[in-house]
Amino acid sequence: MPTLAGFIQTLSTGIFQGGVYAIMALGLAIIFGVMHIINFAHGEFLLIGAYLTYWLFHALHVDPFLSILLTFGLVFVFGQIIQRYLLDPVRHDHSFVLVMTYALSIFIVGLMFIFFKSELRSVVTVYSLWSLDFMDADVILNLQDMAVLVMAGIFFVLVHLFMKRTWIGKCMSVCAQDEEAAQLMGIDTRLVSSLAFGLGSALTSVTGSLMITSQVFHPGMGGIQTLKAFTIVILGGMGSLWGAAVGGILVGIIEAVGTLFMPGIYKPIIGFSILLLVLLFRPSGLFGKASV
């Protein structure tokens, strides 16, 4: 049985990880909620964020937390271009969209291999190991992890306010509910879709920027992140912002705590077990089909 300190430490690890998962799933929830498409390249946008941060840190000595703004802006624009010129032309055929996003994921992975090779990449800052120690240093809360969680929270609040308080956000909500009705109301749904894809992709890239401060990356790990994002979004409820946040935190905690009671080798099974259980017993997810 784990000690109390061990349990608290593991729980905190799960919460920190879950916060990052939440932002990753938030991006997917927005894209699915507004555009009703499955984006197979979701994890690759996370790679873009991670590698941009890596490059800015190592080549230009830009702090990873500062690079988030630049990453967000660049991927927001890139995402819009992708939506406008690759996805929009085939938006009426879902199978085409699936193939296109799959091709896009291969394309991005290929580029990453060319520019960053297959080696593991990470960002270690001077403050990477700063921490608050409790219970005779048996519980160590890493300050960088806490900062990542705070950043995740800030992004969630900003996105929530954007969706509820801004005209564009409200347009996205309308499109999520009924695209035809939105068009009849004079909303430029193509523009809204483009902005939604840009926002969703940018949020996912932010996840990559945050994750590379505490994990290692290689170009082949986008696929597993895409699956994880789908697991969280399905757990929380497709298209639900709150669902993505709560689902992310839950998956992070369940993964971490689960490995306390079973060998670490089974960790990948935990996420997919959650997915199967939710699909079997509550296919609409924790927050039903709440719209964006």
Partner 1 sequence: MRKSLIMWTLLSVFVVCGLVSLNQTAVAEEELVIGCSLPFTGGLSSEAPYFRDGYTLGVDMINKSGGLLGKKVKLVMQDDQTDPATAITIYEKLVTKEKAIALFGPLGSSVTAAAASVAEKHKVPIVSSYAAGESLYNKGYTYHFGICASSYFGGSYSVPFIDMVNNFEKWGPKGEAKPNKIAIIGVSGAYGRDAVDRCVKRAKEVGLDVVHQGMYDAKTGDFTPMLQKIKGKGAEILCAVSYYNDSIILARGIAKLKMKFKTIFLGTGPDLPEWKELGPIGYKYCSAYPLSPSWQRGGYPEFVKAFKAKFGKDPIYSHAWAYGVAQVLKAAVEKAQSLDPVKVRNAIAGLDMDIAWCHVKFAPEGWNAGYGGTYISQNQKGKTVGVWPPEVAQAPVIYPFR
Q: How far apart are CA 174 and CA 240, in angstroms?
A: 14
In the three-class reduction of DSSP (H, G, I as helix; E, B as strand; rest coil), residue 133 is classed as: strand
Tell me which H or E stretch contains 42: helix 42-60
Residue 220 binds to partner 1 (criterion: CB under 8 A): yes
Q: Does 183 bind partner 1 (CB under 8 A)?
A: no
Q: In angstroms, rounded to a whole number, what is the distance separating the alpha carbons of residues 113 and 192? A: 33
- Quick one: which of 174, 286, 172, 232 has its CA closest to 46? 232
Which CB, 177 or 259, lies closer to partner 1? 259
| Rounded-to-integer distance, Cα 245 and Cα 29, Å | 10
- Report helix angle 143-165 to 167-177, nearest 10: 80
Choices 41-49, 121-129, 156-164, 168-176; region in contact with partner 1 by CB under 8 A: 121-129
Q: Is the dihedral of CA 135, 137, 139, 141 positive or negative?
A: positive
Interaction between residue 267 and partner 1 (CB under 8 A) = yes
User: Are the C-beta atoms of residues 143 and 130 closer than 8 Å to each other?
Assistant: yes
Smallest gap from Cβ 187 to partner 1, in A, equals 23
Least CB distance to partner 1 at residue 177 (A):
27
Nearer to partner 1, 13 or 67 (CB): 13
The DSSP-derived string for 98-119 is: HHHHHHHHHHHHHHHHHHH-SS
Binder among 94, 96, 150, 188 for partner 1 (CB under 8 A): 96
Instruction: Tokens 């085939």: give the residue.
Output: 90
Least spacing, CB of residue 123 vs partner 1, in Å: 9
Judged by CB under 8 A, the chain residues 227 through 266 that form the site for partner 1 are 256-257, 259-260, 263-266
How many residues bind to partner 1 according to rule CB under 8 A?
57
Q: Which is nearer to partner 1, 85 or 166 (CB)?
A: 85
Least CB distance to partner 1 at residue 216 (A)? 5
Kindly report the backbone phi and psi dihedral angles of residue 135, in degrees, each rounded to the nearest multiple of 5, phi listed first: 50, 55
The three-class DSSP label of residue 142 is strand
The only residue of 175, 176, 203, 221 in contact with partner 1, by rule CB under 8 A = 221
* Ramachandran category for residue 186: left, alpha or beta (phi over 0 → left; psi -120 to 50 → alpha): left
Please report, for residues 72, 93, 109, 161, 237, the alpha-carbon distance to residue 102 in angstroms, rounded to integers and kept in the order given: 22, 14, 11, 32, 23
Report how far Cα 240 is from the mean position of its chain's Cα atoms: 14
Q: Interface with partner 1 includes 135 (CB under 8 A)?
A: no
List the interface residues with partner 1, window 17-56 (CB under 8 A): 17
Q: Pick from 2, 115, 132, 282: which binds partner 1 (CB under 8 A)?
A: 2
Question: What is the closest distance, in whole angstroms, from the C-beta atom of residue 194 to partner 1 in the complex?
Answer: 15
Q: Closest distance between partner 1 and the C-beta of residue 1, in Å? A: 10
User: Which of residues 59, 60, 61, 118 is near partner 1 by CB under 8 A?
Assistant: 118
Count of beta carbons in the 10 Å neighbourhood of residue 52: 22
Q: Is 115 in the site for partner 1 (CB under 8 A)?
A: no
Contacts with partner 1 by CB under 8 A lie at: 2-3, 5-6, 9-10, 13, 17, 85-86, 89-90, 96, 100, 103-104, 106-107, 109-111, 113-114, 117-122, 124, 128-129, 131, 133, 137-138, 140, 142, 211, 214-216, 218-221, 224, 256-257, 259-260, 263-268
